[in-house]
Amino acid sequence: MKRIISSVFISSIVLSSAQLFAQEDQFSTVITPAFSPITWERLVDARNEPENWLMYSGTLDSQRYSLLDQINVDNVDQLEMKWAYQIPVIDRAETVPLVVDGIMFITEAPSNVVAVDARTGREYWRYDHDMPDDLRICCGRNNRGVAILGETLFMSTLDAHLVAIDARTGNLLWDTEVARHDAGYSKTAAPLIVKDKVVTGIAGAEFGIRGFIDAYDPETGERIWRTYTIPGPGEFGNDTWSDDSWRTGGSSTWITGSYDADLNQIYWGTGNPGPDWNGDVRLGDNLYSDSVLSLNGDTGAIEWYFQFTPHDVHDYDSIQVPILADLEISGEQVPAMMWANRNGFYYTLNRATGEFLFGKPFATVTWAEGLDPVTGAPIRVPGMAPTYEGIMVSPPIVGATNWYSPGYSQDTELFYVTSFDGEQEFFKRDEDYEEGERFTGGGGRYTQPMDAYHSSIRAINPKTAEIEWEFPIMPRSPAGITTTAGGLVFTGSADGYFFALDAESGRELWNVSLGARVHAAPMTFSVDGEQYVTIASGNVVYTFGLRD
Amino acid sequence: MSFFSTTNRRTTPLLLAGCILLPGLLSMSTPTSFAEDGGNLYNTAVDIRMGERYFERQCSRCHGFDAKGNDEVGAPDLTGRLRNASTDVGIFNVIRGGVPGTAMLPVAEDVPDPTVWQVVAYLDSLRYDPSSVVLDGDAGRGASLFTGKGECASCHMVDGRGGRLGPDLSRIGEDHTPEDLLLAMTNPNEEVAPRWWTLRVTGTDGVQRQGYRMGEDSFTLRIMDDEENLWHFRKNQIESYERIEESTMPSYEGELSDGELDDLVAYMFSLRREVLPQ
């Protein structure tokens, strides 16, 4: 770890901002945004300052539900583009920007940040992370966003570092190596602030890593605790891995989790066991892969776990964002967690205890015939494990859904997810672990053109697990979802549309063709009383607002 | 029903079905310390198998287990022509050094050169030198059949001449084996690219229009009807639409003799644009 001391000359920033705006007629009266430090209390209460988008999922419960309603079902067709920011790196953008008091923070591939004015998209500063040339990354040079506490941004980097950046200048404050990138570790997800700690996960399950969730001191970058997602010898669950397979069993944590301040529990999904498609070398349930973990908000100790897919051999990561809400189910108020899993099943859990309440398929599933009504464990269909010759299974490797965020509306009490009905031939291969080399044990192959499959936005009633409506889109869409008090569901599609649906009925209300795949989730904010909605498409970040 | 049509046929892009080569291998700058052209010494059957195993393990996540690429991550299809890495040396250097500024990373430094050459050999095995293929048919007779008895040119264009109701075949020999070409003529429904599916669109007034599926996305449809008119529909402004995932091309099984089919295969296989080695 290295610490770089930076000097922050706020007054000079204010001056330069004033000079900048003075040249722009539209904002000539604006001197500078009132950027105030983000306290933990503000993060806990983030929903009640909907003008800002203060964390990856908007709020700690990750509902992605905004109270803003200026843009609503009656006027959403009046949206027009206000500005576009061209990311100067040709790669897909998976970023969900933050907005703090009129300043937007956008992450770029491979691991850069730019701060822009949220009304104009014009740049204040940028941070370019020094990147080694021997990265070991699974699936693209992705970065999904930053976290903020005080006046500091925190970002995961592809070379498996966690960096702290001054939010006013882009100066690097500290840079901590979380794990060795040359051993296959990398980081792509936005961290989560929990009280006075920066909680963050790790990627690399295709390289035989041993996954973990870490917490860091936001002031110094020093690690406070680490909770491995694969138990070590002598710990509960280590015997669910045959021989020494726990050492290289993956179980990564590459998407941002959620937090319940009342229960003081952090919830975080875990990835596939490794090698992905050859389970012969890791017999057992392979805890805590493909699970959701509840961690104590202070110590990181595991309080409960729920494993969605024991002994997974299809790469069905449980890398989804946990959505938390209190639901009235069968006359009782339940602290619920909603989860549409890559394995094709939707689950409602009790987030206080981890108890399985109920679940059903929300997409085409052939590997399991259902869920045990008591435990929630999958009832497997025999003979669906990958073979040397290949076997057709649904969902395919990319899953019935994946990392892209689902959403929940407090008005409709519906859960929204981008789903995929596809299939793939799964193959098994024999491989030995070598540090820094891929360790996947097989792969998959589509046998039809992608257009022969189906994607859709599905609205699920979390009190019954029934699908209430669906809106078909072209496969395979990897976009997240945001809901608003304006009665809207915003999302995107693989064929480059950004669109809004009626959250109640799924009725199409508005769309715009942006021309490039949408690999990100929308977010919404307001400045000077004007609501905006932002989405990344291709390597451009677009912001829309109502027609003047 | 609200839609737009145009008769400006010259603006119509006719796509070669199944011919999508992404440019991931195009922009590699070649360090001189990398391979220079001494040929690939690691191209035995065992080398190819070893290269395949390495590819499946290290490369297939992006390029696909069948090396046919992945549009989502921008990884190109490696089973066809690699436009700017047309030599083994070029391919070696791309694997060894990666493509700067993209997700195509270099292989680890400790991976020995012979392993990289084995991958090159495996990729080579997915293609072949068409000039080495000896066919029974006669390309000249096949050309006559194409425009004559076979009536292929009534639907297919070659070098700017012919019909619009099927794929342009001007370079069909570059990405299809003779076996593929024979199968396409005798069993056209075996593999139909989505571009050549048929869409049948019913308007809110009950009027139906159908044509080739030139484009479909989440919100719109675009077709070319039998009279070569282009139509655009918004999905929320029509009553319904139906996909017919079959080819409109008739089977030539039994319609032409085996010898005539061989001649047509030879002709179509000859339709290539030769690429000069860099």
pLDDT tens over chain A, length 548 residues: 344 333 333 333 333 333 333 344 444 444 455 678 999 999 999 999 999 999 999 999 999 999 999 999 999 999 999 999 999 988 889 999 999 999 999 999 999 999 999 999 999 999 999 999 888 888 888 999 999 999 999 999 999 999 999 999 999 999 999 999 999 999 999 999 999 999 999 999 999 999 999 999 999 999 999 999 999 999 999 999 999 999 999 999 999 999 999 999 999 999 999 999 999 999 999 999 999 999 999 999 999 999 999 999 999 999 999 999 999 999 999 999 999 999 999 999 999 999 999 999 999 999 999 999 999 999 999 999 999 999 999 999 999 999 999 999 999 999 999 999 999 999 999 999 999 999 999 999 999 999 999 999 999 999 999 999 999 999 999 999 999 999 999 999 999 999 999 999 999 999 999 999 999 999 999 999 999 999 999 999 999 999 98
Would you state the pLDDT for residue B84?
61
Inter-chain residue contact B65 with A429, CB threshold 8 Å:
no
pLDDT at B62 over 90: no
Task: Kindly list the residues from chain A whose CB atom is less than 8 angstroms away from the CB atom of residue B74.
Answer: 92
In this predicted model, what pLDDT tens digit does every residue of A58-86 receive, in sequence order? 999 999 999 999 999 999 999 999 999 99
Express each pLDDT in B108-151 by its tens digit.
Answer: 888 899 999 999 999 999 887 777 888 999 999 999 999 999 99
Q: How far off is chain B from A476, nearest CA to CA, in Å?
A: 9
Identify the pLDDT of residue A34.
64
pLDDT tens-digit series, residues A149-176:
999 999 999 999 999 999 999 999 999 9
What pLDDT score was predicted for residue B76?
87
What pLDDT is attached to residue B274?
67
Q: Which long-range contacts (CB under 8 A, 24 or more apart) does B196-200 make?
A: B196/B17, B196/B166, B196/B167, B196/B247, B196/B248, B197/B243, B197/B244, B197/B245, B197/B246, B198/B243, B198/B244, B198/B246, B198/B248, B199/B223, B199/B241, B199/B242, B199/B243, B199/B244, B200/B241, B200/B242, B200/B244
| β-strand pairing of A65-66 with A482-484 | parallel
Q: Is there a single domain that holds both residue B179 and residue B255? A: yes
Residues B166 and B37 in one domain: no
**Predicted confidence band at B266 (pLDDT cuts at 50, 70, 90)?**
very high
Are B225 and B255 in a shared domain? no
Is B59 among the domain residues? yes
- Rounded to a whole number, what is the distance in Å from the CA of A438 to chain B's nearest CA? 6
pLDDT of the residue at B35: 65
Indicate yes or no: CB of B56 within 8 angstroms of CB of A429: yes
Where residue B17 falls among pLDDT bands split at 50, 70, 90? very low
Domain assignment present for residue B16? The answer is no
Establish if B45 belongs to a structural domain: yes
Residue A440 to residue B61, Cβ atoms within 8 A: yes
pLDDT band at B18 (very low <50, low <70, confident <90, very high): very low
The domain spanning residue B226 has which CATH number? 2.30.30
Q: Do A117 and A103 form a contact (C-beta atoms < 8 A)?
A: yes
Report the Cα–Cα distance between both ends of chain A, in Å, rounded. Answer: 49
Q: B100 lies in a domain?
A: yes
Greater model confidence, A141 or B100: A141
In the β-sheet with A265-269, what is the strand arrangement from edge to edge?
A: A258-260, A265-269, A291-296, A302-307
Based on the fold, state whether residues B110 and B158 are members of the same structural domain.
Answer: no
Cβ neighbours of A496 in B, within 8 Å: 217
Quick one: B168 and B254 in the same domain? Answer: yes
Residue B6: pLDDT above 50? no
Q: Under a CB-based contact definition with an 8 Å cutoff, are residues A175 and A205 in contact?
A: no
pLDDT of residue B25: 36
The pLDDT score that the predictor gives to residue B13 is: 31
Residue B63 corresponds to which tokens in the numbers above? 């390029």
Q: Is A279 left (phi over 0), alpha (psi -120 to 50) or beta?
A: alpha
Q: Say if B240 is an interface residue toward chain A (CB within 8 Å).
A: no
B9 within domain boundaries: no
- Rounded Cα gap, residues A491 and A483, in angstroms: 9
Q: Are B90 and B40 in contact (CB under 8 A)?
A: no
Weakest-pLDDT range from A283-297, A387-401, B11-25, B30-44:
B11-25
Is B20 an interface residue toward A (CB < 8 Å)? Answer: no
Distance (Å) of CA B19 to CA A265, A382, B170, B171: 52, 38, 12, 9
The residue among B127, B156, B171 that closes a domain is: B127
B143 domain-assigned = yes
Asked if residue B57 and residue B140 are part of one domain, the reply reads no
Q: How many angstroms separate the CA atoms of A317 and A299, rounded?
A: 25
**Helical ranges in A263-368 per DSSP H:** none
Interface of chain A toward chain B, CB-CB under 8 angstroms:
89-92, 133-141, 206, 427, 429, 431, 436-438, 440, 442-445, 449-452, 472-474, 476-478, 493-497, 499, 508, 511, 513, 517
Question: Quick check: A135 and B105 CB within 8 A?
Answer: yes
**Chain A to chain B Cβ contacts (< 8 Å):** 82
pLDDT of residue B32: 36
Domain around B118: 23-127
Q: Are residues B160 and B117 in the same domain?
A: no
Closest CB from A89, A452, A473 relative to B218: A473
Classify residue B4: in a domain, yes or no.
no
% of chain B beyond a pLDDT of 70: 84
Residue A479 dihedral angles phi and psi, to the nearest 5°: -105, 150
Average pLDDT over residues B218-227: 96
DSSP 8-state class, residue A21: H
Higher-pLDDT residue of B23, A248: A248
Question: Are residues B33 and B148 both part of a single domain?
Answer: no
Q: Hey, which CATH number is domain A2-546, 3.40.50.10860, 2.40.420.20, 2.140.10.10, 3.40.1190.20?
A: 2.140.10.10
Main-chain dihedrals φ then ψ at residue A29, nearest 5 degrees:
-90, -10
Is B198 part of the contact surface with chain A (CB cutoff 8 Å)?
no
Radius of gyration of the CA atoms of chain A, in A: 22
Whether the per-residue pLDDT at B233 is higher than 70: the answer is: yes
- Enzyme catalytic residues of A: 315
Residue whose C-alpha is closest to residue A482's, from A538, A532, A533, A431: A533
Distance from CA of A420 to the nearest CA of B (A): 14
Kindly state whether B73 is in contact with chain A, defined as any CB-CB distance less than 8 angstroms: yes
Whether B117 and B139 map to the same domain: the answer is no
From the list A91, A138, A511, which residue is nearest B219 (CB)? A511
Same domain, B176 and B260: yes
Asked whether the beta carbons of residue A476 and residue B72 sit closer than 8 angstroms, the reply is yes
Residue B102 lies in a domain: yes
Mark yes or no for CB contact A495/B217 under 8 Å: yes
Contact B236 A508 (CB under 8 A): yes
Kindly determine whether residue B218 and residue A436, on different chains, have CB atoms separated by under 8 Å.
Answer: no
Number of domains into which chain B is organized = 3
User: How confident is the model at residue A28, as a pLDDT?
Assistant: 46
* Residues A282 and A242: beta-carbon distance below 8 Å: yes
Work out the pLDDT band at B37, boundaries 50, 70, 90: low
